[in-house]
Each structure stands twice: as structure tokens, then as C-alpha cells.
Amino acid sequence: MALTTEVSGNLLLIKDPNETLVTTLPNGSHTIDWVAAYNTFRTVFGDDYDFVGFFIDVASGMPNDLGAASYPVFNDITGIGVNPFDNRASYSSAKLRGISWYGQATLSGVVLVQMTELLHELGHYWLAYVNYKDSSGTTQTLLHQDWVWSPGQQNAHWGRWPDKANSSMGYDEAQWIDNGNGTWDRYQRDDTQAVDDAWFGYWSLEQYLMGLVPASATPSNIIQNPNPTVPSVWPPVHSTTGPYTPTPNAAQITVAMVQAEEGVRNPDYMSSQRVFHQGFVIITKSTAAASSNPFVATCEGWRAAHALNFRSKVSGQAMLDTSLLRGNYSDLYVKDNDADTGTGLSSGVFWLSPDLWVRNSQDGGTTNQETIRGQDNFIYVRIRNKGAQPYDNVSVNVYLANFDNRALPGTQFLYPPDWNPAGLIGNISVGTVPTATAGGDGTVVVNVRWPTSQIPPATGWHPCLLCEVIPMETTPSGLQQVWQNKKLAQRNITII
Amino acid sequence: MARPVHDGAQALMFSYRIRLGNVLQAARTSQLRIQAEQHFDEIRLFLDPGGLVAGIGERADRLTTNLGLTPSDLASGAVRAIPLVAWHAEPPLPGAAGGWSGGITLVLPAGTELGVSPGSMPPQPALRLRFPNDTEVEVGGRGATPLARHVMRGMAPVLLDGIPMLALSQPQHASLKLNWTEDMRSAVVNILGIVSPYRRRGQDALYHIMEVIGDRVVGGSSLQVRA
């Protein structure tokens, strides 16, 4: 049987019962024709994705030795330890930056994908390649020391010596703890444990390399030549070993030292890409309908959780849309003002969106009411479709602006940082947004409860509400403002 | 004595704090605009520009009230009832830095007449200024201050109970140029409103506070005051 495809929500299934995508190598191991797999995806969903990830359905009979890895396709960033390269032509893509796959099966043949693994493979687009120059101007590779795994991977991962905080880009999964007396302990984590999987993320140096924070990222320590040496075998999970004494002492590295070796990151955090699209595909031998394949629901859980987890781990500095973009995704919009017709660039007052309002009760009213403290309120959003095709699988996120780190909201919000997960009030799934008619846009009005516990006190504060509609636009992709993106809306009014 | 227009009306004071700029904003200058979509004269608005405007006190008129305002009143963020406000305005202190400077005083005895020359035209005998009483005229000027950098429209520096503020003299169209630095790309400003009880019921005010870069509005918030 030839390859067939099926769309299931925000996943594409490639059904390959005869393993036409699979190649058996001379040593008996397997690989997949990733170019062919990507092009199958692209013919269904277009060339709108920065990254595409493949879940391997081992239980269906696909090879169980593919492991998890990533393959960068394109890089135009300098200062991250990798020279620019461009392999897009072989993928017939003008957008793709990298692919990754997840087929790490247990002995019983069950693929388990941790959030850490999804962060790790995505992180390879920027990480972990850099070295640094020490104060004498000598190149140091200590960020990758000491390496006890496959030698070929050393230059793309952090070693065991650097104190890399909660980085997901190492293999040791251990955390250095500064004892404050010149010695350090190591706390062993394991990303198959839920508590640890939730802990791993991206360290401050990594967030600089990802173009999300300025070069003033926190300095880090390298526990060089520790005494005793770090054991090669993992100690029991959640145990602490040590103390370790670095020799001659812990080396401190700064972003400036990395820049001295690699150059300044370009583009910097002000002009870097902040909105990314990652599509997810299941490669399976099963020809069964998606609804009867339990692996599909499992993958959907990973996909959805990954989008939230990534955004949380970068503190909202970047946004990852993992929804699959139907051809008419750009017909969806929310108005900035009554004159806004969803062209993508509005003008005039944009902070009083008619499509985002507060009600004191869930009464379906369509005018904004002053928020009442001490009780639940409700936030309504109207999603519009200006096209001739309906759109399924839409979701809306509503945020309280700047709730994360300061008591006062502002006027000048930038997406995505101000749409911060710490200020998320709620997420609403929308089944279908209907087509436009002669009478105007097709619309769906949804609401989310704004619990009293999330309504800040009156003194010195007023609510600024922000929302985003997903699927997100592919452009602009850098820091942007509400009026630049048809999928964003704002309501910023105080009533005294 | 005049009475409030409707029963229960009180004088009110509110402060409205908001963050301008953005730590990720690259532009080094922007403009703060305040535009009233609805306004009633019983509201007096003052802008506390935080650390964004230096030199206010150097050429500010002095405005004192019976409230004895302190900086903590401005920062409270609260709406509260206040006594009926008695306003007392005075010009800047003589000799204040950047303020009025002079030293020459002309004494015009009663009956003095001056001819008036409009532009470059020759004096017109019929157009005279006459001083029926003894008059003193101070001759001086105001020096340049850092305020000139802010290109203010519709607002004027004032010391409100000694606190440096910008009084919104034309809230329909007021503006102020903001200068951002590498270290300060964002700041909190405070709009202080004092509402007279002699206002009409049901007459709301609505102000749009905008940040503009070039000719593009990049940020905004609205403040509605319900009478």
C-alpha cells in the first residue's frame, strides 16, 4: 500500500504500512527518509513551519531504534557557535529551519516523550555549540567538559562541568548546587520523573543564544576538574553527591566571554524571531483511522503540553504555535477597532477592541462593563472569519497584561513577552468559526471565567486585557505590537 | 456659596498610574499624547511624569491648595473623596533657576502715555497706552531650561503644593516629547485628577492616553471618569 495521510486535529498522520520511508542500514539499524516525510507533510499543510517534529509509532511496527534527534536545515544566525548554512533546497522549503523526531522506545516498545526531550531537540536549533575565551584570550571548551557519551555529540551538548541551571541541553540531568564555601554538590534528576520533567528548561545563557534576552544574562560557573571526579554512573535519582571541589576553582563565564569567542549574536534580542511554528506528524504503519489509534491521542497531549511548556520555560519571551495551519488561517482575526477589517495592519485606537470585553456575569452581553472586584467576572472574545471557508481547531488565550513582575500595566505592549504565561487567565477552544456571509464576518463569541482570585486589588492598578487567537500568523515573527497582528487584541481602559 | 449640582456629589481626587515605554522598545524618543474624547471643565488634570521630565520646578507656576498634597497622595492609585478645593495660584519665585530673572524695574508715574507701533509700521498717533496710576514694570526674562527638550503642548509646569507636575491646560490635545535612554526605556507616570463637586450628573469624561513614535500610535490606554 502506498503512503496515505490523515489529518487529526493538529496532527498529521503519515500511514506507511509498507515502510516505504524506512531504510535499513548495513549495520541493521534503521533510518527514515526525512526529506520525503517532510515533503509529504508540506504537500498537505504548506511551507509555513519553522520546525516539524515526527512522532514514531513504534507500537504499530515502525522501527524502535530511531531514538530522538534533530536535524538542522537552515541557519542565518551568527554568534551561536554555528556558521550559517542552508539545506532548504533539498526540502523544497523556503521556511523550514529544522526537523526533529521522537522514537525513543522503552523495552516494551512504548514510545515515551518527555517535555524535556521536546525542548532539547527544539533547542538544538540554537544550542549548545558555543565556546568562550578566558581572560587571557585563550579559547576554552569547558562548557562541553567532561563528556562521557558518544564523542561526536560533545560539541552540540553541554558537558557535566558547567553549572547549567535547569538546562535541558545536557545528558547528565544533574544540578550543581553551590555550597557557598568553594565546594559544590550535585543533585541527580531524571526527566522521566514528572517533577523533573517540569523542572528542565533553558538556562539564562541559552536564552541569550536563542535571542530572547540581552547579553546581560547571569554569569555561570564551571566546576572544572572537580575533586572527586563526577561518577560515570548516575547515582540514585533525587540523591545528592558531593561535596566536589573545583580545581583550581570554579571558572566564571559571562556572555561577554562567549561573545569574545563566537561574536555577538546577530540578530540580537531586539530583532530576533519570537514567534515560531512547529508542526507535528505521526509516522505509523497502522492504516486504522486516527480515532482508533490510541497513540494519536497520546501525541496530541505531548503536542499541546509542549507548546505551553516552551512558552513557560522562556518566560513568554517567545511563542511556539504547534497548531496545523489550514490554508485559510489568515482569514481569522479579532478587530482592533470598528474600522479594522483584518488586513493585518490596523490604525487608530487599538486598545479598545470591540472583540474583547468584560462582563460582570456570564450574561452574554456585548458591551464592556467595569470589572467588579470581589467576585468572578467573565471575559468575552469574538473571533471573526472573513473568508468563505469555515475554520476548525481554533483556540483563544486571554491574559492579564504584565501581571508577572510589576504591579502596573503599561500602554505599550509587545508580543509575545507581554502575553506572558504568568498572566494567563484562561484558554478557550473553539470548534468551528463559520464562514463570512453577505451580512459580514462569520463570528464565534466565547467567554472565560475571570476568577476573583486573579483580579488584582484596585489600588494602583487597572486591568489590561490581552488575547491571542491560535493559529497565529506567520508574519510578523519578531517583537510586534497589537496593531501589527490581526490575531491579537487589547482592552486597556480604566473606569473611575 | 455655590452648592453641588446634585445631592451627594463630592469633590474627588484620583490618581491613575500607568507604565509608558517598553524595556524592549528600540526608539529613543516618543511622544505622549493626551486627547479628550469627552471632557468637562470640573476636572483638573495634572501629570506627574515620574523621572521623565527634568527641570519642572525651575520655571513652574506655584499652585497651592487646602489639601496639602504630598507625593504619597499621588502614588496611592486610589479614588477618594476630598474637601472642596481652594486653589491659590502664584507666579514662579523670582530668581528661580531658569525662571524669572531680571533686576530692572521701570516706574511709570500716573498719567504716563506710551505710543504703540504695530510691527514695522510707523507710530499711529491715535493708538496709545495710558497708565492712570503709578505702575512698576519689571523687565527680565526666562532662561532656557531642560523643559525645552520636551516640546510640550497643552500642559505647563506647575508646583502643586510644592510637587513638580505638569498641569493639563488643554486636555483635548496635550502632548509631551519623551526622551528614552539605554537605562530607562520605560517609566511609570501618574495622572492626578481633581474633580469638583459642581459637575453635572451623567456627564462623563473620556481621555485617551497615547504613545506615538513618528506618526504611528504604538501604545495607548483610556481613562473614563463617570460623573
Residue B26 has pLDDT above 70, yes or no: yes
Q: Could you give the count of Cα atoms lying within 13 Å of A270 in the half-sphere of its Cβ?
A: 9
Q: Is the pLDDT of residue B3 over 50?
A: no
Domain contains B3: no
CA dihedral (A143, A148, A153, A157) positive or negative: negative
Query: Same structural domain for residues B38 and B95?
Result: yes
Model confidence at B23: pLDDT above 70 = yes
pLDDT tens digits for A197-223?
A: 999 999 999 999 999 999 987 789 999
Assess whether B51 and B128 both reside in one domain: no
Asked if the Cβ–Cβ distance from B220 to A492 is below 8 Å, we say: yes
Nearest to B22 among A410, A464, A495 (CB): A410
User: How far away is chain B from the Cα of A100, in angstroms, using its nearest Cα?
Assistant: 31
Quick one: pLDDT at residue B1?
42
Tell me whether residue B152 is in a domain: yes
B19 and A410 within 8 Å at the Cβ level: the answer is yes
pLDDT confidence tier of residue B4, bands split at 50, 70 and 90: very low
Query: Which residue, of B140, B160, B191, is where some domain finishes?
Result: B140
Show residues of chain A in contact with B79, CB under 8 Å.
496
Residue B2 has pLDDT above 60, yes or no: no
Q: Pick A408's closest partner by Cβ from B78, B188, B224.
A: B188
Is there a single domain that holds both residue B166 and residue B110?
Answer: no
For residue B124, pLDDT beyond 90 = no
Tell me the C-alpha distance between A330 and A319, whole Å. 18
| B4 found inside a domain | no
Give domain status of residue B66, yes or no: yes
Low-confidence ranges of chain A (pLDDT < 70): 107, 402-409, 458-462
B128 within a domain of the structure (yes/no): yes
pLDDT, residue A30, reads 94
Asked whether residue B38 is assigned to any structural domain, the reply reads: yes
The residue with greater pLDDT, A190 or B75, is: A190
| Contact (Cβ atoms closer than 8 angstroms) between residue B29 and residue B178 | yes
Query: Nearest chain A Cα to B195, which residue?
Result: A496
Whether residue B156 is found in the same domain as residue B182? yes
B29 and B87 belong to one structural domain: yes
Q: Say whether pLDDT at B141 is over 80.
A: no
Position B57 scores a pLDDT of 77
Residues B41, B77 within the same domain: yes
- Shared domain for B212 and B161, answered yes or no, is yes
Range with the poorest average pLDDT among A236-240, A371-375, B128-132, B163-167: B128-132
Residues B153 and B56 in one domain: yes
**What is the per-residue pLDDT for A442?**
97
**Could you tell me if residue B201 is inside a domain?**
yes
Q: CB A414 to CB B22 under 8 A? A: yes
Range of the domain at B120: 101-140
pLDDT digits (tens, 9 = 90+) for B171-226: 889 999 998 888 888 888 889 999 888 877 777 889 999 999 988 898 888 988 87
The SS3 assignment for A153 reads helix
User: What domains lie within chain A, and their CATH numbers?
Assistant: 4-112+269-321 (no CATH), 132-201+220-253 (no CATH), 329-492 (2.60.40.10)
Whether B116 maps to a domain, the answer reads yes
**Helix A294-313 and helix A115-123: axis angle, to 10°?**
60
Query: Which residue, of B89, B120, B140, is where some domain finishes?
Result: B140
> Do B15 and B37 belong together in one domain?
yes
Number of neighbours of residue A366 by Cβ within 10 angstroms: 12
- Asked if residue B105 and residue B95 are part of one domain, the reply reads no
Q: Where a domain ends, among B111, B140, B169?
A: B140
Determine whether the interchain pair B226/A496 forms a contact, defined as Cβ–Cβ distance below 8 Å. Answer: yes
Give the amino acid at B19. R
Closest approach of A297 to chain B, Cα-based (Å) = 39
User: Phi/psi at A460 (nearest 5 deg)?
Assistant: 70, 20
CA distances from A71 to A74, A201, A399, A496 (A): 9, 20, 35, 56
Q: DSSP per residue over A389-453, as a string?
A: S-EEEEEEEEEETTTTT-S--BS---BTTTS-GGGEEEEEEEEEEPPPBTTB-EEEEEEEEE-GG
**The residue count for chain A:** 496
Contacts B19 to A, Cβ<8 Å: 402, 406, 408-412
Query: Do B44 and B155 reside in the same domain of the chain?
Result: yes
Q: Which residues in chain B have Cβ-Cβ distances shorter than 8 Å to A406?
A: 19
- Stated as kind and residue range, the H or E segment containing B222 is strand B216-225
In chain B, the number of structural domains is 2
Could you tell me if B151 and B166 lie in one domain?
A: yes
